[in-house]
A and B are shown apart, each in its own frame.
Chain A
């Protein structure tokens, strides 16, 4: 049973426009959420995170929004750049039984076209 879901396997966006990547979760014990970015032939790298006590966290072009009532978070990239083309993983953590380990979604492949 997937606790963290990224329902869009891929997303294509024009350079300069906004990219919105979505993530849903089912476990109400999750209280911290992270986004990772992965280029081919590299390990995932941390991008941005948000605590459940907040509904928004911004870092430069990247903003993560959290809607706890809907158990939904999204990553906004504005403006999108070709170098943003990568696979983005949503991850969640909480003390619901996994001793605080990260639970990852399956990823969304973002393609930003020049």
Chain B
């Protein structure tokens, strides 16, 4: 079984719709992240959470919100989807602390906003 799972894997929606992407992990990590990947732009950080009570904005948080429901669950919402939010979205986790910088990624969600 995968350590970091994302649902759905693919989603097509229309402009103005509210969308939620979900992420679950079984690694027991404290830290969770949401990234967006656009072609030729690498990975950009949307939001990150160092524990259940700690939520922080990343580089490109406008138009997005998150919820950390439990240590193992971190969801990303698009309140009113727009076409330029069409992208590949990745959730990642990492152990807290300076010695543990490696992040483990989920398989991604491909979102298309028409």
Contacts and interface: CB of A to CB of B under 8 A. Distances in A.
Contacts of B98: 100
A93 B48 CA distance: 15
A32 B94 CA distance: 15
A59 B50 CA distance: 30
Interface stretch (B12-20, B60-68, B72-80, B102-110): B102-110
Q: Which of the four size classes fits the interface of chain B?
A: 20 to 34
Contacts of A46: 102-104
B38 to A, nearest CB: 10
A102 interface: yes
B56 A45 contact: no
Given A43-B4, A43-B90, A99-B56, A104 B105 contact: no
Interface string A26-66: 00000010101000011111100100000000000000000
A107 B56 CA distance: 25
Interface of A: 6, 9, 32, 34, 36, 41-46, 49, 89, 93, 99-102, 104-107
Given A43-B105, A101-B45, 7 more contacts: A46-B103, A46-B104, A49-B101, A99-B56, A101-B33, A104-B44, A106-B42
